[in-house]
A = this chain, B = another copy of it.
Amino acid sequence: MPELRKDPIGGRWVIIATERGVRPKDYTVTRQPLSATNCPFCPGREAATPPEVLAFRPGGGEPNQPGWNVRVIPNKFPALKIEGERDNAGVGLYDMMNGIGAHEVIIETESHDQSLADLSVKGIRDVLWAYRHRMVDLAGDRRFRSAVVFKNHGAAAGASMAHAHSQLIALPIVTRVVKDEMEGARRYYDFKDRCIYCDILDQELQDGDRVVYETEKAVAIAPFASRSPFETWIVPRRHADSFERGPTDAYEDVARTLRVVLRKLRKALDDPAYNFMLHTTPFHQGPQPHYHWHIEIIPMLTNVAGFEWGSGFHINPTPPEKAAEFLRLTEIEF
């Protein structure tokens, strides 16, 4: 059983998994370049994965059979286990918890050779809808307090499978990053009586320097204090605290904006590895007028993340204004 452990000083939780050993070879993941003929995420090999928990089949059809365009399955090697009760315990001055949680894989397309950036706006919107459905379902499990939805694209960003996919981890805790964001946003709200993300959007749209792309209902910006070159946030214009409990009318424009940003990054930076993460309110909360869901995209352009990762202290060699301008000027086919 994996464990959730809390750092007693900084308060962050980590998952301590147990499936690997301690020798160097255990960390050298052999990335067999799976072709479409042996990829377990491809249609026709549904039996090679755990049974699906959700799939969109535009033409109808049976579960765990081909015919889907988005398919969600439990991760075969989950970081947390779905069975078990919440069980907090103290170990001397430390705090820990049973490693319960859901770890799911969202297969974003039936095609082995397409990446998320290749999908149509409708295809990407369907992926967002799959996130939503799964989060609504998992929020009904009272053991869980939050969900982290993220995507690793490329080996340098941690992807171990080539077939386009993202992941969802539902947790019995709220991660430090979300807690910090919620608290920071609340401090601003207490002071100004306004959502800080709404204010950031207002200021960015007025300045224009850090705007990467905008549509009627969503905006992509290079954040003022970008941690790494070409960090990009996609924010719905209208205030909404929760991705899965709020309105869905911005999904299409968020999908369109995500598509444009990913295609621009790919063209401008030669298909970089990247991570993105959906930032939204934890489960089971009332309205949070201070918080605003959004997506944060971080391309992995340098291999010097080691120090930044350990220290939390970031040196970014590219001003976000330059990155935004470069992306605005990058022409893509749409």
A: residues with CB less than 8 A from B are 3, 5-24, 26-27, 29, 79, 91-94, 148, 150, 152, 155-158, 175-177, 180-181, 184-185, 188, 196-197, 199-200, 203, 207, 223-227, 229-230, 268-270, 272-275, 277, 296, 298, 300-320, 322-323, 326
Pull 16 A–B residue pairs with CB atoms less than 8 Å apart, ordered by A. A3-B319, A7-B223, A8-B224, A14-B227, A14-B314, A16-B319, A17-B315, A18-B317, A79-B315, A94-B225, A148-B311, A158-B302, A158-B305, A177-B313, A275-B306, A305-B309
A24 contact set on B, CB distance < 8 A: 268-270, 272, 301
| Overall SS of chain A's interface | mixed
Of A157, A274, A305, most buried by chain B (CB within 10 Å of CB) is A305
Distance, CA A3 to CA B223, complexed state (A): 14
A181 contact set on B, CB distance < 8 A: 9-10
CB distance from A302 to the nearest CB of B (A): 5
A197 contact set on B, CB distance < 8 A: 9
A270 contact set on B, CB distance < 8 A: 24
Distance, CA A319 to CA B1, complexed state (A): 12
Q: Are A175 and B313 in contact (CB under 8 A)?
A: yes
CB distance from A57 to the nearest CB of B (A): 30
Task: Across the interface, name the chain B residue whose C-beta is closest to A176.
Answer: B312
Distance, CA A18 to CA B226, complexed state (A): 13
Q: Are B314 and A15 in contact (CB under 8 A)?
A: yes
Distance, CA A268 to CA B13, complexed state (A): 27
Distance, CA A225 to CA B270, complexed state (A): 37
Q: Are B22 and A326 in contact (CB under 8 A)?
A: yes
Q: Are B298 and A177 in contact (CB under 8 A)?
A: no
